[in-house]
Amino acid sequence: MSDGSLSQDEIDALLQGSDSIDFGSDFNGNEGGGESLSEQEKQAIQQILASVTESQSSNLSMLASQTITIGKPEVDVKSRDQLMTELQKDLVEVKTDFIEGLKGEHVTLLTEQTAIKIAGSMLGQDGVVLNEMAFSTLGEAMSNIMGPALTAIGNKVNTTITTSPPTAQKIMKTGVSFPVGDNFLVVEYTVGIEGKSTRMTDIYSMGLAKELSSLLTRNEAGSSMSSDLDAFGLDSSDADSLFPPDALGGGSMNGGNQLNMNNSFASGKTNSPSVQSVQFPNLQSGISSQEQGNIGLLMDVYMEMTVELGRTKKLIKEILGIGEGTIIELDKLAGEPVDILVNHKLIAKGEVVVIDENFGVRVTEIVSPMERMGDLP
């Protein structure tokens, strides 16, 4: 791999006025003029994504009512050809492009078996067929995976980031909706479901990856400067008094000149800093902003609510004999409260009412957590 310097042959060719030098590759040896990321940029992206895997695992486990774990992300830059050799033949693609705050193409790839396991876990069914309902469920799963990541990135760079609604479909690997370009940022996760491990692959367009890494590394640089000031009990307003413009060549710290704070203080060339009283924040009870943000990720998730009038069991010959006018006796007494279920779990009881010629139900009792646990199989 080239270190960015010209070889002796290239120098000689330049001196001789030759125009036959091939500058098609960038200094990192990648075709396509800079379609790569430095190790620092990849590490910045990996750190922000790794910080939310626990929240992502918790969200999925809650929806699926079983433990689903998402492992530490592996971040790399790969070419289209390299990915085509690594991907399995049958895949499920979930596309969620970045449309605000950050803009660019993004797609998640799951093996067909992984998609079936995730959809089946969330629907509470075995042997799920990959139909419209399953794809909608997978889109919901991806929203709960992307949500914590978007929140963490948005908080880090102080902006709101949104994506397009997830669209899932079954494809062959030759039909992957690759972003524009030859190289992509590829993030791979190990997903644990029912004690078995599988893989999930996120593909980001290089333009999106560059923009994201630029914001993250720029924010890290600003945080580093703030940390230096905090170490001495100062803020940015004290910078100009400590380092006069004439000592900085006409600039100021607030104007963007970069200084090594440790070296400056070591030299002893500082004025006395202004002393300020310590301000302590008010202690307030209640849910923290971070907890509110985590709960907010689930607020727009759709849940299936069912009102159950009653149940009964019949022999197959009795069911085949059902016709118009047949009366089916249920296990509920007249006037007894009906059951209200969310995702097939009993949460409340109520009474049937009529609202503008439509049936409704008035909640009369909330089922306690202990009763709900008793109903579990």
- Average pLDDT of each block of 10 consecutive residues along the chain (377 residues)? 56 55 40 66 91 88 84 92 90 92 92 87 81 88 88 86 90 90 92 85 92 81 54 53 48 44 47 59 53 66 86 88 88 86 87 84 85 62
**pLDDT recorded at residue 279:** 61
| Polymer length in residues for the chain | 377
Q: Are residues 173 and 63 in the same domain?
A: yes
Task: Name every residue whose Cβ is closer than 8 Å to that of residue 377 and which is 6 or more positions away in sequence.
Answer: none
- Whole-angstrom Cα distance, residue 66 to residue 59? 11
Q: CATH number of the domain at 124, please.
A: 3.40.1550.10
**H or E segment at 81?**
helix 80-86
Provide the 3-class DSSP secondary structure of residue 302: coil
Looking at the structure of the chain, the number of domains it has is 3
Structure tokens at 149: 């990541």
Q: Which domain holds residue 20?
A: 1-34
The C-alpha angle with vertex 178 and arms to 198 and 187, in degrees rounded to 5, equals 40
Q: Are residues 14 and 146 in the same domain?
A: no
The amino acid sitting at 327 is: I
**pLDDT recorded at residue 120:** 85
First-to-last alpha carbon distance for the chain, in angstroms, is: 60
Q: Are residues 28 and 89 in the same domain?
A: no
Q: Are residues 16 and 111 in the same domain?
A: no
Strand partners, 190: 199
Rg of the chain, C-alpha, whole Å:
30
**pLDDT recorded at residue 261:** 45
DSSP annotation of 48 reads: H
Q: Are residues 28 and 166 in the same domain?
A: no
In a domain, 234, yes or no: no
In a domain, 261, yes or no: no
Q: For residue 297, how many other CB atoms are within 10 A of its CB? A: 18
337-355 exposure pattern, b = at least 16 Cβ within 10 A, e = fewer = bbbbbeeeebbbbbeeeee
**pLDDT recorded at residue 30:** 38
